[in-house]
Amino acid sequence: MKLDGKKIDDIARDYRVTKGSKFRLKDFDPGDTGSFKSDEHAQAALAKGVKLMSDLQKKLYAQDQWSLLLIFQAMDAAGKDGTISHVMSGINPQGCQVTSFKAPSSLELNHDFLWRSTVALPERGRIGIFNRSYYEEVLVVRVHPELIKAEKIPEPLVSKHIWEERFEDINAYERHLTRNGVVVRKFFLHVSKKEQKKRFLARLDDTSRNWKFSAADLKERAHWDDYQNAYEEMICNTASHHAPWYVVPADNKWFTHLVVATAIIETLDSLDLKFPKIIAEQRQALDEARKILEG
């Protein structure tokens, strides 16, 4: 499939990680814009991409077999919300479910950490978007290990191997989903510390964006390096062919949107989706319906 004369996979491919063993975050530049030099050029390609995605989604929905799970993880102000709304702007809302995962409630803490995700998984034929996800369990919880206490896991089960065990469980979970027709794609919006500062300051300067600023975000910024290490470890340990990570440059929002959109289009296209075939019996029923309508 092509977009603006380019093979669609050429745009996102450089950012896809399917094998973690050699992955290093420092090899990925948050300011990268690939072969796109300007905002306008990328936005024109995105508009076409949104149309392609809308056509593919109609087939996904009609076929009602595969579902697509899109996971978004990032530091604050990396642009998760904007990416989700731009990229999904052409999608029929009936075929799409967005779930935002916040700090777990007491009900959620009374279950294993995958429970709340399982109930939010997309139905067949749908696209499910996780705005944050079970990956917080190896990110914020790893940076603030005292959060484990609130999870009420029996003490003998909390060892120094807990992160490796969580990676193992997440990998098994994604393998299970894949084997059942849930296609998993994961996006890490990779913003630089400098750009985050600029965006936080913009939230303070612009009264219409003041509500977006949270002192808690500033506190997490103080743990920047710990988070970067946790992200690197997470990608090293959970990237796979069937559930790849995309390390998406996030210092230029227009490029972020384009990379995410093309990754989704490429994924849907690879499923070879088709409208369900009408069999002879159904054709006859349709012909009869036409006769009745036409009197």
Site for ligand ATP in 80-99 (CB under 6 A): 81
CB of 270 to ligand ATP, least distance (A): 29
| DSSP 8-state class, residue 294 | T
Residue 10 engages ligand ATP in binding (rule: CB under 6 A): no
Integer Cα distance of 258 and 262 in angstroms:
6
What are the Cα distances from residue 151, in Å, to 55, 106, 148, 171?
42, 9, 5, 21
- Pick between residue 133 and residue 267 the one whose CB is nearest to ligand ATP: 133
CB of 116 to ligand ATP, least distance (A): 8
CB of 148 to ligand ATP, least distance (A): 10
DSSP sequence for 18-53: S--TT--GGGS-TT--TT---HHHHHHHHHHHHHHH
- Pick between residue 67 and residue 83 the one whose CB is nearest to ligand ATP: 83
In the set 42, 69, 141, 191, which binds ligand ATP (CB under 6 A)? 141
Which positions from 193 to 232 touch ligand ATP by CB under 6 A, shown as an x/- string?
Answer: ---------------------x------------------
| From 9-17, 135-143, 152-160, 239-247, span contacting ligand ATP (CB under 6 A) | 135-143
Give, to the nearest 10 degrees, the angle between helix 224-238 and helix 162-179: 50
In the set 62, 98, 120, 140, which binds ligand ATP (CB under 6 A)? 140
In this structure, the number of other CB atoms found within 10 A of the CB of residue 55 comes to 13
Integer Cα distance of 179 and 243 in angstroms:
11
Distance of CA 270 to the CA centre of its chain: 17
CB of 106 to ligand ATP, least distance (A): 13
Residue 101 engages ligand ATP in binding (rule: CB under 6 A): yes
- Pick between residue 16 and residue 190 the one whose CB is nearest to ligand ATP: 190
CB of 15 to ligand ATP, least distance (A): 21
Give the type of residue at 263.
Answer: A
In the set 10, 14, 136, 226, which binds ligand ATP (CB under 6 A)? 136
Name residues whose C-beta falls within 8 Å of residue 42's C-beta, 6 or more positions apart in sequence.
Answer: 33, 36, 254, 255, 257, 258
For residue 3, how many C-alpha atoms fall within 13 Å in the half-sphere facing its CB?
26
Distance of CA 97 to the CA centre of its chain: 12
CB of 140 to ligand ATP, least distance (A): 4
Binding site for ligand ATP (CB under 6 A): 76, 81, 100-104, 131-132, 136-137, 140-141, 147, 214
